[in-house]
Amino acid sequence: MTKLSLPLSARTGRWFPWLGLLLLGAGFVAGLGQLFQLRFQLGDVYPPYSSFRADPLGTKALYLALSRLGTVRRHFQSLEKLGDGHGCTLFYLGADAASLRFTANEYRHLEAFMHSGGRLVLALLPAYHPLNITTSTGSSPASRSGQPKTGPPTQPTEPQPVPITDRWQFSYGHAALAKDESGRYAPAIAECNVQLPLPYWVPCSSALFFDKLGPAWRVIYARSPDQPVLIERKVGQGCLVLCADAYLLSNQALRHQRYTSLLSWLLGPNRQVIFDEAHLGVSEEPGLATIVRRYQLQGLGVVLLALAGLFVWKNAASFLPPQEGRWQRLEPDTVLGRDMASGFLNLLRRNVRPDELLSLCLVEWKKSCAAQLPRAKLEQVQALIDAENARPPRDRDPVRLYVELCRVLARRPSVAKDVPSQVQSAT
């Protein structure tokens, strides 16, 4: 088949629909990215009390405020990778009291963090109903019933998580909150129980309080003498703080009910702050995207993408300038093609000199077609060739000779007798 080559105007016209489609796709991607950016700036896609949320239920205001005072970072990995706690305060905010438990390995890392001087602040989700806390699993039902086990021995299982109430010697209590005229729960009043530069009272929006405290605990705020809602205990060189209501750290509280001295006390003397996000489900899985964000390789990705686009463009479009004069001789609806004959002509132009072309054609003609012609025509052809060879090189005209040869070969036998006279006149 003939391979067609379109004029420059036709080729460029073909790209306009694709260019429009590309621009439309780029606009769609940009608009979609803008929508996602607006959504993530608000942060309501994250769980409550996440430092990414900028709405009333988030803690982004606290995160940004503390970032002006010292080093603040978010922790997206497991507690085993928490590291040393010297000079650090870990905010573990928005945890559900009913399901808050850790494995023995996690307890070991948390307590090592506090023993080295770290401060752990556990602020729980506000609860309005009694909690249903299941204790850690013990022996299997068969062993508790006293019946001997049958079958193959069971494989050792992973250590079961233990509730923090069992590990740190306290329990939860419930004291219902009153409702206002609109049917919403009204916050209770918690009074300060220590001689510290703290507010005399703070609101408590949770019905949860801490009960059956061990001797190591110190009550900071309580709704009543037997209903503490903010407690503290020493752990090595650091300490552990439990708060029954994380609302005091939320964006809404920092805007409408800001207790600066209480926030300063929760932070402690440390100037390095860590916001744990992994327990809220915001975790970081190591991968290519993580490496790109960590080492800020976004620019390199854009450059590689641009190079890939240029490579595709180079292979899709020709950079050779068009032959303007050749295209101007063609009609608007005419296209130039190349076939086998054109390829053969190009091959001849590259390998045969012009003055040798006709002789080479005659040699090939004698091999294939000369035997089929009468002797008289062959003599006429040879006479024309001899006459042309007798001319000076400057006067030789291969094109004219070719035309005369074609005329001789095309004549009928009846008129072939007139050829010698024409040959003589030509000479």
Residues facing 140 on adjacent strands: none
Helix (H, G, I), strand (E, B) or coil at 258: coil
Residues paired with residue 79 on neighbouring β-strands, in sequence order: none
Q: Cα–Cα distance between 261 and 256 in angstroms, integer? A: 15
Please state, in angstroms and rounded to a whole number, the distance separating the CA atoms of residues 8 and 323: 10
Q: What is the pLDDT of residues 264-297, one digit of tens each?
A: 999 999 989 999 999 998 877 666 776 777 777 8
Q: Give 74's pLDDT tier (boundaries 50, 70, 90).
A: very high
| Residue at 100 is within a domain | yes
Helix axes 375-389, 419-426, angle to 10 degrees: 0
Q: In this structure, are 110 and 181 located in the same domain?
A: yes
Name the more confident of 100 and 351.
Answer: 100
**Tens digits of residue pLDDT in 191-241:** 999 999 999 999 999 999 999 999 999 999 999 999 999 999 999 999 999
Distance CA 1, CA 385 (A): 38
> Are 54 and 201 in the same domain?
yes
What's residue 140's pLDDT? 36
On whether both 97 and 211 belong to a single domain, the answer is yes
Is the pLDDT at 259 greater than 60? The verdict is yes
The pLDDT value given to residue 420: 47
| Residue-averaged pLDDT of the chain | 79
**In one letter, which amino acid is 310?**
L
What pLDDT score was predicted for residue 141? 32
Asked if the structure places residue 31 within a domain, the reply is no
Q: So what's the pLDDT on residue 117? A: 94
Biggest alpha carbon distance in the chain? 142
Q: What is the pTM assigned to this prediction?
A: 0.60
By C-alpha distance, which of 73, 147, 79, 89 is closest to 122?
A: 89
Mean pLDDT of 95-118: 94
* Of residues 265 and 8, more confidently modeled: 265
- In the prediction, which pLDDT does 419 show? 43
Structural domain includes residue 140: no
Nearest 5°: phi and psi at 3?
Answer: -85, 120
- Do 307 and 395 share a domain, yes or no? no
Q: Domain check: are 49 and 194 in the same one? A: yes
Helices (H), 68-168: 104-115, 141-144, 164-167
Give the Cα separation of 315 and 304 in Å (integer).
17
309 shares its domain with 184: no
Whether 330 maps to a domain, the answer reads no
In a domain, 97, yes or no: yes
Domain count, the chain: 3
Same domain membership, residue 107 and residue 56: yes
**Same domain (yes/no): 212, 116:** yes
Confidence (pLDDT) at 343: 73
pLDDT reading at 107 higher than 70:
yes
- Give the lowest-confidence range in 29-38, 124-133, 318-327, 373-382: 318-327
Q: Does 274 reside within a domain?
A: yes
Q: In what order do the strands lie in the sheet with 119-124?
A: 71-75, 272-276, 88-95, 119-124, 238-243, 228-235, 218-222, 188-192, 201-204
Residues 226 and 301 in one domain: no
pLDDT at 73: 93
Task: Give yes or no: residues 67 and 127 share one domain.
Answer: yes
pLDDT class of 3 with cuts at 50, 70, 90: very low
Q: Determine the pLDDT at residue 154.
A: 52
Q: What is the three-class DSSP state of 327?
A: helix
Residue 53, both tokens: 């949320």
pLDDT of residue 114: 96
Q: What is the CATH number of the domain that holds 170?
A: 3.40.50
Q: Do 236 and 174 have their domain in common? A: yes
DSSP 8-state assignment for residue 220? E
**Domain identity same for 81 and 201:** yes
Report in angstroms the alpha-carbon separations of 232 from 33, 140, 188, 198, 382: 45, 36, 20, 14, 122
Quote the strand ranges of 6-143, DSSP E.
Answer: 71-75, 88-95, 101-102, 119-124
Domain that holds residue 377: 354-426
Q: At what angle do helices 354-368 and 398-410 cross, to 10 degrees?
A: 20
Residue 223 lies in a domain: yes
By residue count, the chain amounts to 427
Question: Domain for residue 35, yes or no?
Answer: no
